[in-house]
């Protein structure tokens, strides 16, 4: 999960991964990407060298920004499972590029050194792991201004519903702007269908797909239920229906960056995002 923060203390949460720098754009004026508004990125995940965090740090370094533009949120199950030395080293290396926020199981900011030694203290109870991840998602919803969704697991997830579905449910309930790039398939394509953005008929059938997980079905039904409520006003992302369908169908990073930037620009122009 990763995100964007506007020049105010709010961020844009990016709920999944795209391995292309065109999402971020270029520091040149010709390709502004998602940093064109001077925004900040929020990422909820882990610090693995093979994970997303090093990519995000590398991209931010290209922009030569030193105003802590990256917020890394670590759930209790993540930072407690990481050696304190590793946490301190990453924080030191991050420097002015960003900051780390460690959360307790209820989503409150906490000193990761309290109540533990140097060695990792893993949370092995699945219920506690789910609680920690859900609390982190609530924290990020409260500290972000919009969310971009791509891909996402349909199976093998830990929570009561797939992680991206939980992200979407929180964003919809909070009436946050959301951007759904469905060309990578996964749960994002399911969210697109559930919210009535597009029927997804352009996606090729998955012959190897397993029967839906009952938890997936429950999350899908909760999303559909939101669209029947009187207060439902759509994605609220500054894009019209045709532009949202284009975003829903694309897998091109340049298109995603252009459409998200277009929507955010309109929201900022119209006072819908400070």
Q: Tell me, rounded to whole angstroms, the distance of Cα 122 from its chain centroid.
A: 24
Domain ranges of the chain: 2-269
**Alpha-carbon span 188 to 25, nearest angstrom:** 22
User: Which pLDDT belongs to residue 4?
Assistant: 45
CA distance 189 to 141: 21
Measured between alpha carbons, how far apart are the two ends of the chain, in Å? 22
H or E stretch including 165? helix 163-173
How far is 16 from 189, CA to CA, in rounded Å?
13
User: Which residues have a Cβ under 8 Å from the Cβ of 186 and sit 6 or more positions away?
Assistant: 16, 150, 151, 152, 153, 154, 164
Q: What per-residue confidence (pLDDT) applies to 20?
A: 37
The pLDDT value given to residue 207: 67
* Residue (of 44, 32, 1, 12) closest to 274 by Cα position: 12
- Given a cut of 70, the residues of the chain with pLDDT beneath it are 1-39, 207-208, 274
pTM: predicted TM-score of the whole model, two decimal places: 0.82
pLDDT at 16: 40
| Confidence (pLDDT) at 38 | 63
| Secondary structure of residue 233 in the 3-state scheme | coil
């Amino acid at each position: 999960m990763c995100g964007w923060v506007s020049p105010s203390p709010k961020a844009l949460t990016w709920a999944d991964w795209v391995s292309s720098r065109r999402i971020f754009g270029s520091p040149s004026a010709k390709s502004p990407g998602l940093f064109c508004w001077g925004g900040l990125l929020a990422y909820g995940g882990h610090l693995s060298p093979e994970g997303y965090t090093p990519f995000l740090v590398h991209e931010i370094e290209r922009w030569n920004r030193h105003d802590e533009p990256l917020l890394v949120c670590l759930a209790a199950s993540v930072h407690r499972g990481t050696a304190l030395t590793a946490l301190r080293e990453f924080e030191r290396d991050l420097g002015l590029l960003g900051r780390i926020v460690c959360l307790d199981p209820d989503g409150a900011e906490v000193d990761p050194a309290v109540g533990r030694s140097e060695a990792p203290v893993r949370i092995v109870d699945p219920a506690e792991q789910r609680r920690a991840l859900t609390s982190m998602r609530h924290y990020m919803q409260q500290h972000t201004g919009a969310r971009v969704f791509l891909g996402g697991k349909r199976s093998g997830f830990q929570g009561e519903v797939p992680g991206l579905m939980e992200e979407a449910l929180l964003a919809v309930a909070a009436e946050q702007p959301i951007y759904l790039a469905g060309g990578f398939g996964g749960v994002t394509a399911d969210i697109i269908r559930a919210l009535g953005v597009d029927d997804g008929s352009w996606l090729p059938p998955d012959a190897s797909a397993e029967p839906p997980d009952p938890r997936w079905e429950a999350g899908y039904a909760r999303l559909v239920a939101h669209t029947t409520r009187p207060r439902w006003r759509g994605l609220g992302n500054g894009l019209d229906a045709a532009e949202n369908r284009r975003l829903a169908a694309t897998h091109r990073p340049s298109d995603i960056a252009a459409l998200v930037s277009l929507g955010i620009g309109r929201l900022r122009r119209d006072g819908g995002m400070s």
